[in-house]
Structure 1
Amino acid sequence: MDCLLPESLDISTVLDTTTQYQHWLTQASTLHINASEVVRVDAAGIQALTALFLTAKRNQIEVQLINPTNLLLEGISTLGLKEQFEKSNSVGE
């Protein structure tokens, strides 16, 4: 299933994105998450995204982050969560 992250992954969108993530997890056994439009992130948004990846892994759902913006990659790295995304599947272009 191809999924698109919103432009903003921050505290103001966590409730909406978490609901959307739960929907994605029930709809497919493979998720390709396009992160090319993300221009605003904070710790809460990245934590919610991390929870999506961890839940997918736990439920044996293949998940891949596609075209993450540099801003998103920097946030993931700053929070020390890069390994969580790599273990779930590849973080790539």
Structure 2
Amino acid sequence: MNCLLGESLEISTVMDAKVQYEEWLKQPSPLNIDASQVGRVDAAGLQLLASLFVSARNTNLDITLNSASDVLQEGIGLLALQHVFEPHREE
């Protein structure tokens, strides 16, 4: 399933995004998260996005982050969360 993140991943949008992410997690097909439109991000938004990835992987749902905007990449780097968003590899 192709999923598009909104322009804002900030505390003011976390509750609405959480509802949307919960719906995405109910899908049986792999999730392809398009992050190209993200223009604003804060720690709360990154925490929620990280939670989406961890939850998906805990339920064996494949999930990938695609086309992360520069702003999102910078936020991920500042909080040292790169490992959360790297493609999952089987050992």
Normalising to structure 1: TM-score of the pair? 0.91
* Structure 1 runs, 4 residues or longer, greater than 6 Å off: none
Deviation, 1:84, is 1.0
Query: Conserved in 1, the CA contact under 8 Å of 2:33 and 2:64?
Result: yes
Query: Conserved in 2, the CA contact under 8 Å of 1:54 and 1:88?
Result: no
Query: Conserved in 1, the CA contact under 8 Å of 2:64 and 2:87?
Result: no
Give the Cα separation in 2 of the matches to 1:28 and 1:72: 26
Query: Conserved in 2, the CA contact under 8 Å of 1:38 and 1:72?
Result: yes
Q: How many residues align?
A: 89
Give the Cα separation in 1 of the matches to 2:88 and 2:44: 19
Give the Cα separation in 2 of the matches to 1:67 and 1:29: 20
Q: Which residue of 1 aligns with 2:51?
A: 51
Q: Which residue of 1 aligns with 2:21?
A: 21
Deviations 1:39-76 (Å, cap 9, x if unpaired)?
A: 00000000000000000000000001110001101101
Query: Conserved in 2, the CA contact under 8 Å of 1:33 and 1:63?
Result: yes
The answer as to 2:56 corresponding to 1:78 is: no
Q: Which residue of 1 aligns with 2:67?
A: 67
Per the alignment, do residues 43 and 88 of structure 1 end up closer, same or farther by CA in structure 2, a change over 3 Å counting? farther
Query: Conserved in 2, the CA contact under 8 Å of 1:53 and 1:88?
Result: no
Give the Cα separation in 2 of the matches to 1:48 and 1:18: 7
Which blocks of at least 5 consecutive residues in structure 2 are unaligned? Answer: none
Identity among equivalent positions (%) equals: 48
- Give 1:70's aligned amino acid: D
Deviation, 1:87, is 5.1
